[in-house]
Amino acid sequence: MRVELIPQVQIGDINRMRVGDILNTQIADISCERFRFAVAYMRLSGWDRIVGAVDSLVNRGGRVSGVVGVDSGITTIEALQALRQVSRDSTVFYTTSDFIYHPKLYLTSGRETAIAIVGSSNLTRDGLFRNIEVATAVHMDFTSNVDLQIFNCYDALFEELLNADRPNVQPINDATLRTLITTRLINQEGLVREPGHNVPFGRKRQTSGDTTGLYQLFPPMRVPVAPPPTSTVS
């Protein structure tokens, strides 16, 4: 087993790595046979930046499965529809109780190895490429019994989260999408901006009055640039 830190931040001597870049490399690798993820939020802005790698996986006979949350109005209709096009078993996890589904887990696996990325990055443009995030990549080798046991734990979790017979788990199909749309749990991506500085989810609403002292304590940083959307991986 090898454990790798993925610091999506440039600070001091720490060099910034992007979760999205690592995912693209892992998914596109010919040894990868399956890509699974469990995320609180999914947007087309994030999916379009890994879809080239996903297409290469699907074209060589690989499988894709996602378990997506719909809290906070951030996940969009287009994202779930795009996932549905490449996956037959993806699901939505939601509860009407007073707490939310909030994981950020990505798992790529093949016959001999697997890599789990666990951290703070949702499947959005900013989560994968722009925000300050931190994640850990766990590299597992199936020739090791310990590694295989750890992989089996991840595998068992996904088996449950993808099981539409479980309470609060629903398949991504016409009926589910229709209910999510009519209850306004999801909306069109163009109508729901990416969470950030100038939208209701972000820091703008938390600041008021004279912000001079705030800017002295926390000066602006250079905003990272996300790569353009992709459709193929060379």
Identity of the residue numbered 4: E
Q: Are 229 and 48 in contact (CB under 8 A)?
A: yes
pLDDT tens profile 132-190? 999 999 999 999 999 999 999 999 999 999 999 999 999 999 999 999 999 999 999 99
Q: Look at strands 113-119 and 104-109 and give their pairing.
A: antiparallel
Q: Are 138 and 116 in contact (CB under 8 A)?
A: yes
Phi, psi for residue 34 in degrees, rounded to 5? -150, 140
Collect the ranges in the chain with pLDDT lower than 70: 196-209, 231-234
Q: Which domains can be identified in the chain, with CATH numbers? A: 2-195 (3.30.870.10)
Query: How far is the C-alpha of 58 from the C-alpha of 34, rounded, in Å?
Result: 9
pLDDT at residue 211, rounded to an integer: 74
Q: Look at strands 34-39 and 63-69 and give their pairing.
A: parallel
* Cα 174 off chain centre by: 22
Quick one: CA dihedral 180, 101, 206, 132, positive or negative?
negative
